[in-house]
A and B are shown apart, each in its own frame.
Chain A
Amino acid sequence: MVATSFDYQKATSVEQAISLLQSHDGDAKLLAGGHSLIPTMKLRLNSPALLIDVSKIEELRGIREEDGHIVIGAMTTHYEIASSDLLAKKAPMFVEAAKVIGDIQVRNKGTIGGSLAHADPAADWPAVVIASGAKIKIHGPDGARTVDADDFFTGFYTTAVGENDVLTSIHVPVPPKGSKSTYAKFPQPASRYALVGCAVQLTMDGNKVSDCSIGFTGVSDAAFRDSNAEAALKGKELSGESIQAAADACADGVDIMSDHFASEDYRKHLAGVFLKRALENLK
């Protein structure tokens, strides 16, 4: 397996990466952990002329708390997230999800930013960032902007990141007191991507759900926030009944993917099952 010939350049700053992207007019790609990109290039399903390695840019790494948010640098690896004390304390869903991404080797090298920008419809992170209400920061030729995770995934492998943009960080609001979150996943048996992945964040007011957000991955051509299922829970007690109602309401009105691992109706059914399991975890 040999990729087509390309140039490799290590970027030392976000600005440099952007200007390299600009000067290559769509024929350059950013290289983060490489776990999505390199296999495709080996299969020659993609042959960029230049790879810009952004993994060593210091400002893109690390996890820190800032203004009520936890900021995760785009080049932070799944492993670093899985072993972050800060996240374990403040946003444990991230730790939980990081531990079930790929395998040890993938977690050591793969990055959250790379995964989000790649937007594989079956990747784990999209569901989690959506449910956490995160904002995603993107630097482009015209400066920086932030996009709500809900609006970030625009379609099949497409995101709000433009051709000459660099996804730089993920800003996760520190969940209020009384919040709970979890990620439940049914892995595709061969690749271990999510056949269905469901991330849920709940805020309880007494025994009622005061707020909740639900993100799904693996179900449709892009990860999405499921407001129907959320509506079935808001203001309700977390009971067998409300959980069932949410499961019945979920993944409604979305185009559901189908492949030889899961047909459309089975996938839809699984979405309900895994939403239920996630909610049971939070009971």
Chain B
Amino acid sequence: MATTINVSVNGKKYQDEVEGRLLLVHYLRDKLRLTGTHVGCDTSSCGACTILVDGKAVKSCTMLAAQADGATIKTIEGMAEKGKLHPLQEGFKEKHGLQCGFCTPGMIMTAANLLEDNPHPSDEEIRHALEGNFCRCTGYHNIVEAIKYAADKSKGGDIEHADAKELEKPLFEVPS
């Protein structure tokens, strides 16, 4: 028995018939072809599928599409506006907060929820907030920096650029 859902995704309205067991993540990926939201595990542990549902970070692999009826959804595809990256997206780029990029959308959506609740988190608060998201590439160091960058940026603070300290060191010597 299918259910009809009405959702708004990244500002666009959709009405669809969905099977009960269809997960929200598969609705987004397969039906709407918004493949920026990823699936990394079966147990609601890795956070790669995190999206915003009514402004709150949610693991879309642990939510049925049917449960999203009436919801306003934002995915990574909806973060940049008019071609301008969201401060978090910019922070991840500036601070090299991503490598393979697979966990990144989920990280950014979780961080968006964090900054909404706590615009100026400490390192510890950031690390705690990320406990539902695995990254296997970065060791998290630069993800924390990226989120701090975004927090600083939104309050108009000074942003320390990674390059500054790099220029002091010998980086390249031509082998003889």
Contact = CB atoms under 8 A, between A and B. Distances in A.
B66 A103 contact: no
Nearest to A1: B42
A39 B20 contact: no
B117 to A, nearest CB: 8
Contacts of A8: 1, 3, 20, 64, 66
Contact of A34 (B39, B47, B62): B62
A1 B42 CA distance: 6
A102 interface: yes
Nearest to A2: B21
A39 B62 contact: yes
Contacts of A3: 21
B21 A53 contact: no
B19 interface: yes
A42 B19 CA distance: 14
B44 interface: yes
Interface stretch (B6-14, B53-61, B146-154, B156-164): B53-61
Which of B44, B45, B113 has its CB near the most chain A CB atoms (within 10 A)?
A: B44
Interface residues of B, number: 32
A105 B59 contact: yes
Contacts of B59: 105-106, 109
Interface in B57-95: 57-59, 61-64, 66-67, 69
Contact of B131 (A4, A5, A103): A103
A34 B64 contact: yes
Contacts of B66: 8, 10, 53
A25 interface: no
Interface residues of A, number: 31
B64 A4 contact: no
B34 interface: no
Interface string B120-150: 0000000001011100000000000000000
A8 B4 CA distance: 11
Contacts of A152: none
B104 interface: no
B47 A7 contact: no
Which of A1, A102, A104 has its CB near the most chain B CB atoms (within 10 A)?
A: A104
Which of A39, A191, A192 has its CB near the most chain B CB atoms (within 10 A)?
A: A39
A23 interface: no
Interface in A52-98: 53, 55, 79
A43 interface: yes
A7 B67 CA distance: 12
Contact of A4 (B21, B42, B50, B53): B21
A4 B62 CA distance: 15
Contacts of A2: 21
A108 interface: yes
A51 interface: yes
A35 B132 CA distance: 13
A191 B58 contact: no
B45 A191 contact: yes
Contacts of B129: 103-104
A34 B43 CA distance: 12
A199 to B, nearest CB: 20
B37 interface: no
B171 to A, nearest CB: 38
CB-based closest 8 A-B pairs: A103-B132, A8-B20, A108-B56, A8-B66, A3-B21, A1-B42, A7-B1, A105-B59
